[in-house]
């Protein structure tokens, strides 16, 4: 596969210079390395700027409702476990509107890769606070500054037992591509929270701001250690990127018995025989 195999015909509607372009480039690079055809891939999203990604990469796509990408993605994977299912979502979509699904799909351990474009702001609705906005950040709705404590995605995922927790940075495309590939390879729910500057609305967490704080996790980090992972995830002054935690655990397909069945989508339903059930209702 080559990059052009994933070129979409749909014109991109993101702001020029948006951090989304870096994530798009990284995702395409990862897909080329993965080597699966667009027909074997499913990109799922909700609503927001990140959720437009499936329109901009050639593959099967399901652009559903705000906050509801995860249930649709988990179910599509149940329907056809041979698909590679990738969710592109944002901090508002995934941690705000869809927070309950975030919690429970980690518990469900659906074999999906979730890329959260975390720009710490609401872009599409023009600049309100998001669940990950920094306290004190002023917006039109929060003129006195954000007062709520930020939602900690990495720590939450770790606390829930998520088997793959990573953080990337939109400006580190090759590094992010590798994280995405590792997330796809992990059997189970893979979270990749991506630091993403929003050049239009977030004047606080800029490329410059991230540039001063982001650093790559080195080989000394034991990603199989939850304690080590939590120590990294809790850092606020500096922002580690890389695989924070990775440990295999049984995924939904294994736990539900789905893996023992032929893909549900291929089931022959022309002659389901319920006659043997009659005796149960006599």
Residues that bind other proteins (CB under 8 A): 9-10, 13, 38-42, 44, 47, 52, 55, 58-65, 68, 70-76, 78-80, 82-83, 100-101, 103-104, 108, 256-258, 261-267, 269-270, 272-275, 277-278, 281-282
Q: How, if at all, do strands 164-169 and 239-246 pair?
A: antiparallel
CA distance 23 to 170: 5
Q: How far is CA 20 from CA 33, 49, 61, 211, 227, in A?
A: 20, 8, 18, 16, 31
CB of 67 to other proteins, least distance (A): 8
The residues that bridge with 246 in the sheet, in sequence order, are 164
- The smaller minimum CB distance to other proteins, of residues 76 and 171, is found at 76
What counts of helices (H) and strands (E) characterise the chain? 9, 8
- The smaller minimum CB distance to other proteins, of residues 87 and 171, is found at 87
CA distance 227 to 229: 5
- The smaller minimum CB distance to other proteins, of residues 227 and 272, is found at 272
- The smaller minimum CB distance to other proteins, of residues 71 and 131, is found at 71
CB of 36 to other proteins, least distance (A): 11
- For the stretch 244-282, what's the b/e string if a residue is b when 16 or more beta carbons lie within 10 angstroms of its beta carbon? bbbbeeebbbeeeebeeeeeeeeeeeeeeeeeeeeeeee
- The smaller minimum CB distance to other proteins, of residues 100 and 235, is found at 100
Residue 117: exposure state from Cβ atoms within 10 A (0-12, 13-18, ≥19):
buried
- The smaller minimum CB distance to other proteins, of residues 35 and 144, is found at 35
CB of 179 to other proteins, least distance (A): 24
CB of 90 to other proteins, least distance (A): 15
Q: Is 204 helix (H, G, I), strand (E, B) or coil?
A: coil
CB of 97 to other proteins, least distance (A): 10
Q: Which two tokens stand for residue 78?
A: 């149940």
CB of 63 to other proteins, least distance (A): 5
């Amino acid at each position: 596969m080559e990059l052009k195999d994933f070129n979409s015909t749909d014109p991109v509607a993101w702001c020029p210079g948006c951090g989304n372009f870096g994530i798009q480039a990284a995702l395409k690079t990862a897909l080329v390395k993965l080597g699966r055809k667009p027909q074997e891939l499913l990109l799922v999203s909700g609503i927001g700027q990140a959720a437009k990604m499936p329109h901009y990469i050639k593959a099967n796509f399901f652009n559903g409702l705000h906050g509801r990408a995860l249930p649709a993605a988990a179910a599509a994977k149940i329907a056809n476990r041979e698909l590679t299912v990738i969710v592109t979502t944002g901090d508002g979509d995934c941690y705000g509107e869809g927070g309950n699904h975030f919690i429970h799909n980690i518990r469900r351990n659906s074999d999906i890769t979730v890329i959260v474009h975390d720009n710490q702001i609401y872009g599409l609705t023009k600049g309100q606070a998001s669940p990950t906005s920094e306290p004190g950040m002023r917006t039109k709705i929060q003129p006195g500054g954000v007062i709520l404590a930020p939602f900690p995605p990495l720590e939450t995922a770790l606390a829930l037992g998520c088997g793959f927790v990573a953080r990337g940075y939109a400006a580190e495309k090759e590094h992010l591509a590798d994280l995405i590939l590792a997330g796809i390879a992990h059997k189970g729910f893979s979270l990749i929270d991506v630091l993403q500057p929003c050049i239009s609305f977030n004047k606080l967490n800029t490329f410059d701001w991230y540039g001063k704080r982001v650093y790559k996790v080195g080989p000394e980090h034991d990603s199989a250690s939850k304690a080590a992972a939590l120590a990294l995830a809790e850092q606020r002054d500096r922002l580690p990127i890389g695989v924070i935690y990775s440990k295999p655990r049984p995924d939904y397909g294994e736990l539900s018995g789905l893996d023992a069945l032929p893909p549900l989508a291929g089931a022959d339903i022309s002659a389901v025989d319920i006659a043997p059930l009659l005796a149960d209702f006599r």
